[in-house]
Structure 1
Amino acid sequence: MRAPPRRSGCPTRIDLLSPRPVTPSFPSAWLKADPRALAFLPDRFRHRTARAEAVAQAATRTVSPALLAVLRERHARLAPSPARERNLELLGRPGTVAVVTGQQVGLFLGPLFTLYKAASAIVAARTLQEETGRPCVPVFWLQTEDHDLPEVDHCFVASAAGAPRRVSLTHADAATSRVPVAHRRLGDGVLTALECLRAELGREPRADEHLSLLERAYRPEATLAEAFTEVLASIFADEGLVFIDPRDPRLAPLAAPIHRLALRDAAAVSSALARQVEALTQAGFSEQVHIRPGSPLGFFSPDGVDGPRYRLDPAGPDTWSLVGHPRGATVTTRELSDWLEKEPLRFTTSALLRPLLQDTWLPTAAYVGGPGEVSYFAQLAPLYAHAKRPMPLVVPRARFRILDDRARRLLHKLGLTPDEAGGEREALLTRLSTRDAAQTYEPAASVEARLFGAFAAVLDPLGEPMLKLDPLLLDALKRTRGTVRAAVSRLAARYGRALALRDQVTTERLDRLRALLVPDGAPQERILGMAYHACRFGTRDLARSVLDACVPFSGELQDLTP
């Protein structure tokens, strides 16, 4: 976002702390069918005719025999699933299409939305098949090329007693590693993580079922991707969910043409993408992925396929810098071309190039994504146009808020709705603790706004005549305003704490409820893993509840009561 232009001369009003305009969220605007958002990403998923057109277009493409052979071999390592075998057979037939989703391979499946993504793809595929009569297969793309280990080496476990517990692996180099997570073994730290889960959840009614599944998959010698796939494949065996890991060495030659295109046309593609970002910015939205001039949207591993990867940026004629390389190394276009022939697995995609690779390998009719991926696709039209490939339908994943019996009891005791429970904590505590009191107390935030507002209403009109008298008074005015703001904030904070402590039982109940529904103030599905609810209600029963509740092509938040 560009900084606002500097004004010359003295201000006529002191507006040093006035709020800045809030940039709207592109995914929210898109889901609300805001015309500004639809100009960048049409909501074709809402319209049955557009869905049929996307399926018909995808049905003209086929899956290569080489890709099918790899998929069959890899899936043979998983527990038998007649539904998955049937879907693999269908992928080999002309006219079959795919609904694709994907996610980083987080520990113990990562946040709950991983489960929701998989279920959304399954339901969307089922619905498109019913609408069009064409076979449609749900596919889960394992995002194993990424190297950000701290994003995937942990999960959060809900607890009825208080704040969620963070359970993580113990890789000493997690913060500095640049190796794709596909090559990371779990190590002995996973045994400690499993013990933590047992200690936290072992008393839940269905704990042994779920924890035994995790213990079979998450072994020290397994990779994050292998364990992740084994668990998710088990959960959705009856639905035949298919998996693709782009780090399979046998698939690397199939990715080489995409990397070659990205290198050859880097300048043209990045310029077109930059223009798209500029248009998004002018429409009031922020970019999801920064576009670097001349970037080929990919990474290269100079030390081997299981070595660290570095982003490629132009460094001169036919020369590329390896961004972040400890010695500032560079590589030539000729060298990259040679490696694409000899060892293409040294190349990995970025978040913007990955969708094009997916849709090159698969007859993708629709992609199911979360808010971040929706924002990616808002930037991607120029890349697809340059590659002469149609963009798939972009479908919002299902969104759920699980209200188990514990959460429902707390809601009842507190007299709150689930939406109210997600409000500002201090205001909620004030409301709850003074609900039955003879004296009505104003919320702390309201007190702060009223006090400072009264002060500002007196000070601000004095600004212009004071500055005309002596421009050097500006610093004094700023200091006075800041000092009073800080003092009022301190007073309001103390007042708010006093209100909150009036009823400790209510405070504890509210905090337990928020830990279940809005941990750390964030949506439940983005923080908590599935282990808590799976141990309470059963792994497959939880998945079935999600599948049954999925409304295809919706994206609206729903409450789920297993």
Structure 2
Amino acid sequence: MTSSFSSAWLRGDPRALSFLPDRFRHRASRAEAVAAAASRAVSPALLDVLVAQNARLAPSPARERHLELLGRPGTVAVVTGQQVGLFLGPLFTLYKAASAITAARALTEETGRPCVPIFWLQTEDHDLPEIDHCLTPRGTGEPLRSALEHPDAATSRAPVAYRRLGENVTRALTALRAELGRESLAAEHLELLERAYRPEAPMVEAFAQVLSAIFADEGLVFLDPRDARLAPLAAPIHRRAIEEASAIASALAERGNALTEAGFSEQVHIRPGSPLSFFSPEGPEGARYRLDPTAPGSWSLVSHPEGASVTTAELLGWLEREPLRFTTSALVRPLLQDTWLPTAAYVGGPGEIAYFAQLAPLYQHLGLPMPLVVPRARFRVLDDRTRSLLDKLGLSPDDVSTPRDELLARLAARSAGEGFDPPEAVEARLMGALAPELSRLGERMATLDPSFAHAIERTEESVRTALSRLVAKYGRAVAQRDQVTVERLDRLRTYLVPQGAPQERIYSLPYYACRFGTRGFTRLVLEACEPFSGELKDLKP
């Protein structure tokens, strides 16, 4: 059975630390990472593109100052990034950006070197179903799902950089306004979304406009790698990914085997001999495909409808003539980032932390220093509605992660004066009556048949399992008598563990921004961010 790498790493498990040291926890290690990054500089070509890209965003003197600093030797960067989800995607997008900002401030204070927060817009991915929707909690019933509903979403393989929002975004905004428009601070946020999310706008442009407006005061800088002016700067990484594919894949496969032996799984599966880059044979805006080796100097395009193939010579020719045909995978993107930028630290979530556990051999192969890996802030929002439900049910926020049936049984046990014993008491009484009898029978039969003891053990285990199921059903039946309690619990779980997952991975910003104000909620997040922590914290607006 495999373990979560990020969870093990955050709790300091030596197995995880052997793959990815927790340097982010130690001030001396942070200083070393900043000093190493300060020896590199942003190229004039990249800086020109950064200035041009950010000039299209919400006005921000702080961002202009950060861009100026990036042009000076000795400035370093704290980088984070995310796919460009509808209405900013899950809440953790905001938490990532805030984490990068607060980490950059902390490193500046600790080392005296200027440190700039940069948000890498992940526009080269093609997984549209992951980003074409957002979920909003509602007081009752299922969350509101707002979606773009592109008919080709499931089959599209083109980078999302070229995807426009389309007419359905208007319908999504209308539904959002109908749901949230009555909230006291909704107007500002809904107007911000409506200005940015226009049918003709590219998804990346709308995303960047909103996030840049939210963090204008903090000067968050944005980088979109899907830019023709940047493609030549990415070409050397793609060239090495192609020419050295076998050596790179072997090193990563060895790393993957070591992770598996330590009880972890690979976050990204390594295809033997395959480059880590994608290729778009029909042009930059066309479908992108992985490459699999078929013979020396020849590659098949994985999942191509016509089973197309391409030679190494053809790939290198396209890389020279039109490098924008090549895009990064999850494992090569950090290498491109750290080739372009003086990255002192990368702020990531659980999946990205697991990526970096795989990446050490690749950094070593390319001769790049690995940046600090810093866990993003993790928050659970306990608004007034949630706190009221917790109080009425007598539960703590942590209790709500307990399986629903167990919670119902626990709540049933609190029922008084109704003639029903708590489920725990029923189970104890039943098992208490049976266990001594089984024990006596086992002792009596031991002299006649020594194997009888094993049969007794198996019987007792089966009885305990059956009784647990019976008692759980009893607890649910008792709890269901109080429908108000059931409804409150379901509403509470909808707020805190929607779809059985952490709130920050499911819900988007609009609900919280409309209730507490865009800037008010953002300020709450920034103030609660504890650099270099990674601990789950509760927000109480």
TM over 0.5: yes
Q: Deviations over 1:182-226 (max 9, x none)?
A: 110000010011011011111111111111100000000111110
Look up the SS of the partner of 2:284 in the other structure: coil
Does residue 277 in structure 1 map to residue 256 in structure 2?
yes
Q: Give, as a single letter, the amino acid of the residue that structure 2 aligns with 1:288.
A: Q
Work out which of the residue numbers 333, 342, 346 in structure 1 matches 2:325. Answer: 346
Asked if the contact 2:123–2:204 (Cα under 8 Å) also holds between the matched residues in 1, the reply is yes
Q: Which residue of 2 aligns with 1:559?
A: 538
- Mapped partners of 1:376, 1:146: distance in 2: 16
Does residue 397 in structure 1 map to residue 376 in structure 2?
yes
Q: Deviations over 1:461-491 (max 9, x none)?
A: 9xxxxxx9xxxxxxxxxxxxxx999998986
Q: Which residue of 1 aligns with 2:448?
A: none
| TM value normalised by structure 1 | 0.88
Q: Deviations over 1:501-560 (max 9, x none)?
A: 111001111111111111122111111111111000000111110000000000000001
Q: Give, as a single letter, the amino acid of the residue that structure 1 aligns with 2:165.
A: L
- CA separation of 1:239/1:93 partners in 2, compared to 1, >3 Å: closer, same or farther? same
Q: Which residue of 1 aligns with 2:454?
A: none
- CA separation of 1:180/1:395 partners in 2, compared to 1, >3 Å: closer, same or farther? same
- CA separation of 1:442/1:142 partners in 2, compared to 1, >3 Å: closer, same or farther? same
Does residue 185 in structure 1 map to residue 164 in structure 2?
yes
Cα shift at 1:165: 1.8
Does residue 123 in structure 1 map to residue 96 in structure 2?
no
- Mapped partners of 1:425, 1:78: distance in 2: 45
Alignment of 1:188-227 (within 5 A): 188-227=167-206
Asked if the contact 1:107–1:228 (Cα under 8 Å) also holds between the matched residues in 2, the reply is yes
Cα shift at 1:444: 12
Look up the SS of the partner of 1:313 in the other structure: strand
Look up the SS of the partner of 1:70 in the other structure: helix
Q: Which residue of 2 aligns with 1:442?
A: 423
Where does structure 1 lack aligned partners over 5 or more consecutive residues?
1-21, 462-467, 469-482
Look up the SS of the partner of 1:395 in the other structure: strand
Q: Which residue of 2 aligns with 1:176?
A: 155
- Mapped partners of 2:113, 2:426: distance in 1: 57
Asked if the contact 2:86–2:133 (Cα under 8 Å) also holds between the matched residues in 1, the reply is yes
Q: Which residue of 2 aligns with 1:377?
A: 356
Q: Which residue of 1 aligns with 2:446?
A: none
Work out which of the residue numbers 270, 274, 277 in structure 2 matches 1:291. Answer: 270
Cα shift at 1:499: 2.9
- Mapped partners of 1:446, 1:257: distance in 2: 67
Q: Which residue of 2 aligns with 1:238?
A: 217
Q: Which residue of 1 aligns with 2:131?
A: 152
More deviation, 432-441/543-552: 432-441
Asked if the contact 2:413–2:421 (Cα under 8 Å) also holds between the matched residues in 1, the reply is yes
- CA separation of 1:172/1:45 partners in 2, compared to 1, >3 Å: closer, same or farther? same
Q: Give, as a single letter, the amino acid of the residue that structure 2 aligns with 1:359.
A: D
- CA separation of 1:133/1:504 partners in 2, compared to 1, >3 Å: closer, same or farther? same
Q: Which residue of 2 aligns with 1:15?
A: none
Q: Deviations over 1:68-112 (max 9, x none)?
A: 111111111112100000000001111000000000000000000
Q: Which residue of 1 aligns with 2:455?
A: none
Does residue 547 in structure 1 map to residue 519 in structure 2?
no
Work out which of the residue numbers 399, 409, 414 in structure 2 matches 1:420. Answer: 399
Cα shift at 1:443: 6.4
Q: CA RMSD in A?
A: 2.6
Does residue 71 in structure 1 map to residue 50 in structure 2?
yes
Cα shift at 1:430: 1.5
Identity fraction in percent? 71
Look up the SS of the partner of 1:327 in the other structure: coil
- CA separation of 1:443/1:333 partners in 2, compared to 1, >3 Å: closer, same or farther? farther
- Mapped partners of 2:200, 2:256: distance in 1: 43
Cα shift at 1:276: 0.5
Q: Which residue of 2 aligns with 1:430?
A: 409
Where does structure 2 lack aligned partners over 5 or more consecutive residues?
443-450, 452-461
- Mapped partners of 2:170, 2:426: distance in 1: 46
Look up the SS of the partner of 1:250 in the other structure: coil
Q: Give, as a single letter, the amino acid of the residue that structure 2 aligns with 1:326.
A: P
Asked if the contact 1:433–1:506 (Cα under 8 Å) also holds between the matched residues in 2, the reply is no
Cα shift at 1:441: 3.1
- Mapped partners of 1:92, 1:109: distance in 2: 29
Q: Give, as a single letter, the amino acid of the residue that structure 1 aligns with 2:386.
A: A
Q: Which residue of 2 aligns with 1:515?
A: 494
- CA separation of 1:190/1:489 partners in 2, compared to 1, >3 Å: closer, same or farther? farther
Look up the SS of the partner of 1:334 in the other structure: helix
Q: Give, as a single letter, the amino acid of the residue that structure 2 aligns with 1:527.
A: I
Q: Which residue of 2 aligns with 1:55?
A: 34
Q: Give, as a single letter, the amino acid of the residue that structure 1 aligns with 2:208.
A: T
- Mapped partners of 2:478, 2:154: distance in 1: 41
Q: Which residue of 2 aligns with 1:90?
A: 69
Cα shift at 1:161: 2.3
Q: Give, as a single letter, the amino acid of the residue that structure 2 aligns with 1:159.
A: R
Does residue 33 in structure 1 map to residue 12 in structure 2?
yes
Q: Give, as a single letter, the amino acid of the residue that structure 1 aligns with 2:510.
A: A
Q: Give, as a single letter, the amino acid of the residue that structure 1 aligns with 2:422.
A: Y
- CA separation of 1:443/1:484 partners in 2, compared to 1, >3 Å: closer, same or farther? closer
Asked if the contact 2:381–2:540 (Cα under 8 Å) also holds between the matched residues in 1, the reply is yes
Q: Which residue of 2 aligns with 1:472?
A: none
Q: Give, as a single letter, the amino acid of the residue that structure 2 aligns with 1:317.
A: P
Q: Which residue of 1 aligns with 2:291?
A: 312
Q: Give, as a single letter, the amino acid of the residue that structure 2 aligns with 1:260.
A: R
Q: Deviations over 1:409-457 (max 9, x none)?
A: 111111111111221111111211330334323269979x979x99xx9
Asked if the contact 2:408–2:476 (Cα under 8 Å) also holds between the matched residues in 1, the reply is no
Look up the SS of the partner of 1:98 in the other structure: strand
- Mapped partners of 2:274, 2:8: distance in 1: 29
Look up the SS of the partner of 1:86 in the other structure: helix
Look up the SS of the partner of 2:290 in the other structure: strand
- Mapped partners of 2:324, 2:468: distance in 1: 56
Asked if the contact 1:99–1:139 (Cα under 8 Å) also holds between the matched residues in 2, the reply is yes
Asked if the contact 2:427–2:467 (Cα under 8 Å) also holds between the matched residues in 1, the reply is no
Asked if the contact 1:427–1:443 (Cα under 8 Å) also holds between the matched residues in 2, the reply is no
- Mapped partners of 1:545, 1:176: distance in 2: 39
Cα shift at 1:273: 0.5
Q: Give, as a single letter, the amino acid of the residue that structure 1 aligns with 2:23.
A: R
Q: Give, as a single letter, the amino acid of the residue that structure 1 aligns with 2:323.
A: P
| TM value normalised by structure 2 | 0.92
Q: Which residue of 1 aligns with 2:87?
A: 108
Q: Give, as a single letter, the amino acid of the residue that structure 2 aligns with 1:511.
A: D
Q: Give, as a single letter, the amino acid of the residue that structure 2 aligns with 1:203.
A: R
- CA separation of 1:216/1:415 partners in 2, compared to 1, >3 Å: closer, same or farther? same
